[in-house]
Amino acid sequence: MSELQKLVAEVRACRVCADVLPLGPRPILQGSSTARLLIASQAPGAKAHETGLAFSDASGDRLREWLGLSKEQFYDPVRVAILPMGMCYPGRSPNGGDSPPRPECARIWRAKLLEAMPALRLALLVGNYAQDYALGRGKMTVRVRDFRHNLPRYFPLPHPSWRSRIWEHKNPWFREEVLPALRREVTDVLTKAC
Helix and strand element counts for the chain (H, E): 11, 4
Q: Which residue in 61, 104, 146, 177 binds ligand SF4 (CB under 6 A)?
A: 104
Closer of 134 and 193 to ligand SF4 (Cβ):
134
174 and 180 in contact (C-beta within 8 Å)?
no
Name the helix (H) or strand (E) containing 2: none
> Does 31 interact with ligand SF4 (rule: CB under 6 A)?
no
**Cα(127)–Cα(178) distance, integer angstroms:** 15
One residue of 36, 79, 102, 159 binding ligand SF4 per CB under 6 A:
102
On the CB side of 110, how many CA atoms lie within 13 Å of its CA? 22
Exposure letters 77-95 (e unless 16+ CB within 10 A, then b): eebbbbbbbbbbbbeeeee
- Give the DSSP H or E segment for 154: strand 154-157
188 binds ligand SF4 (CB under 6 A): no
Of residues 11 and 67, the one with the C-beta less far from ligand SF4: 11
In whole angstroms, how close is the CB of 29 to ligand SF4 at the nearest point?
9
10 makes contact with ligand SF4 (CB under 6 A): no
Backbone angles phi, psi at 111, to 5 degrees: -60, -40
Q: How far is the CB of 179 from ligand SF4 (least distance, A)?
A: 31
25 in contact with ligand SF4 (CB under 6 A): yes
To ligand SF4, the closest distance from the beta carbon of 6 in angstroms equals 15
Residue type at position 23: L
Q: What mask of x and - would describe binding to ligand SF4 in positions 77 to 96, judged by CB under 6 A? A: ---------xxx--------
Of the candidates 102, 78, 75, the one whose C-alpha atom is nearest the C-alpha of residue 14 is 102
Q: Which of 14, 53, 134, 140: binder of ligand SF4 (CB under 6 A)?
A: 14
Q: Could you tell me the smallest distance in angstroms from the CB atom of residue 63 to ligand SF4? A: 21
Is residue 108 within the footprint of ligand SF4 (CB under 6 A)? yes
Tell me which residues touch ligand SF4 (CB under 6 A). 11, 14-17, 25, 27, 86-88, 102, 104-105, 108
